Amino acid sequence: MYYTEHENERRLLKSRWETALRDRVAFLYRTDEHYHYLLAQADEAYQLGLICLTERQEMVTRALGAYSWNVEHKITRETHWCLGCYYHVLIGGKVVGSIGIEGHYQDLQRNLLGNIHDGRPPKLYLRVGQFDREYAGDSEGLRIMCDGQELFELRELIPAGAGDKRWPYSGG
């Protein structure tokens, strides 16, 4: 099936826009800038005649939905552990490891030490042997508590280069 140049440009623009909408890292760490980027792309596509007004309105509505969810998520992750975010693990103010986006707890040499399971409350399990694990504590806010005492403190970590470069799907 052959498409006209106009249809190819339309498909490429919509594909890039959908990719941008699903970019978690840009929304996590550059929420406002990413939202404005999505709006600008929708407006440009409409002005170039690549999409109709209804499609533009749908794109703006979807961008607003993603933006508002990420604003709420940003508030939550500043006070509570959230799956999908990076954290430093601290003992007495000293960094001893990290927790990645999938909840994996690693030491500074990136050896897997355990993981946090998303639940109510989230629970930290430490590895014992190759396949076994042992309950270590519950996540309360940005602390891991065991028997009422603080085991670890968590501090959000913004990964190097997160959102620093211009979006790769911008076509430029």
164 falls in which pLDDT band (50, 70, 90)? Answer: low
Q: Which residue in 102, 101, 99, 126 sits closest to 110, CA to CA?
A: 99
Mean pLDDT over the full length of the chain: 85
Give the pair of three-digit tokens for residue 115.
């993981």
Give the pair of three-digit tokens for residue 135.
């309950």
Distances (CA, A) of 113 to 3, 94, 149, 153: 53, 17, 20, 16
Residues 137, 144 contacting (CB under 8 angstroms): yes
Q: Is the pTM of this model over 0.75?
A: no
52 falls in which pLDDT band (50, 70, 90)? Answer: very high
Cα of 157 vs its chain's centroid, Å: 12
58-96: pLDDT as tens digits: 999 999 999 999 998 888 888 888 887 888 999 888 999
Query: Which phi and psi angles does 171 have, rounded to 5°?
Result: 85, 0
Give the pair of three-digit tokens for residue 105.
């707890």
List helix spans (H) across the chain: 5-21, 24-29, 31-47, 53-77
Angle at the Cα of 126 from the Cα atoms of 75 and 104, rounded to 5 degrees: 45
